[in-house]
Amino acid sequence: MAERASPLRSSKLPPAQDREVRSLSPEARRQSARDERDESRAGLRSVLVRRMGPGTRAFEVFKRTMVGTYQDGFIHAGNLAYLSMLAIFPFFIIGAAVFQLVGGAERTSQMIAAVLVTLPPTVSDTIEPVAANIVEARSGWLLWLGAAVALWTVSSLVETIRDILRRAYGTKAIHAFWKYRLLSAGIILAAVVLLLISLFAQVVIGTAQAVIDASLPQLSQLIGTLRLSRIVPALGLALSLYMLFYSLTPHEYRSKAYPKWPGALFTAAWWLGVTTALPPILSSFFAYNLTYGSLAGIIIALFFFWLVGLGLVIGAELNAALAEPETAGDELANDSADNTQTEE
């Protein structure tokens, strides 16, 4: 019978650095304090390099996003700018038809204002009077005929966004052309319904403000809180973009393993940032009236939609860069292997 190995003989000694006896001499303590000061001085830089430098996930995601944006972003941004100008007025026609169907034709002006609230004043001032004239000029069967044509026009914009996401993820179309068009039409109608709900919410909030102001003037702070509903358009924009990204992302990358909210959040922040920064920049550094004359408003609107389109492309590329199919594939393979072993 083999002799049992002694625990003392079988145990392994720790590494040399762990067996070193730390010196507590004054010179050693001074050197340790000097090292700590050097680390604190270079702390922020070392942390940034360690967490965001080459070789890290953050750096890899940033590189993927920028490469994808450089390859396709500027072309798609121009396409989105053109289609946005082409589709925004047909969208108002669709909204007017739906509002007439539910008996709220008098609220079409509020619908236009709700859509334009996320645009810079220069752009909204150019679009609003034209949109009002277009909506008022149609009624009855002419309105519904215009809505049918408008649905096709606006669906082209949705299909362009779908193609942007498809290119970002590197996938191809798997359904027939008419199926994608029907899905796009459903998304557009859902957007109009959400717009109708948001307008109803704004009416309720405005009524609550008026009642409190008239009956309970001492609750002025509560009224100020209710006026925080100005952030509702921003939240609605972020939610709409998330639903758009989720519904148009290729089916293979629609699960929870591949997040969609980073791209939607970035696009919403980019959109609001452009809306805020564009007016002072145009008034301070550019004089479009001298170059384009009466067409300056249209050119500024196109430029705004181009910037928004670029932000949307960056958001799509960000979501694609965050996707790790190799990791998700390993997990799925392990799960299937476990299931096979269990069945055996």
How high is the pLDDT of residue 45? Answer: 61
Positions of the chain with pLDDT lower than 50, given as ranges: 1-3, 5-10, 330, 332-333, 335-344
How high is the pLDDT of residue 105? Answer: 59
Average pLDDT, the chain: 74
pLDDT tens profile 284-336:
766 777 677 777 888 888 888 999 999 999 999 999 998 877 665 545 445 44
Q: Quote the Cα angle for 183-186-192, to 5°.
A: 150
pLDDT tens profile 49-97:
556 666 677 788 888 889 888 988 888 999 989 988 888 888 888 888 8
How high is the pLDDT of residue 319? Answer: 92
Threshold 0.95, pTM exceeds = no
Query: How far is the C-alpha of 71 from the C-alpha of 203, rounded, in Å?
Result: 45
Q: Residue ranges per domain, the chain?
A: 69-323
How high is the pLDDT of residue 318? Answer: 93
How high is the pLDDT of residue 262? Answer: 92
Query: How far is the C-alpha of 270 from the C-alpha of 272, rounded, in Å?
Result: 6
How high is the pLDDT of residue 202? Answer: 55
Query: How far is the C-alpha of 321 from the C-alpha of 62, rounded, in Å?
Result: 8
How high is the pLDDT of residue 240? Answer: 83
How high is the pLDDT of residue 341? Answer: 41
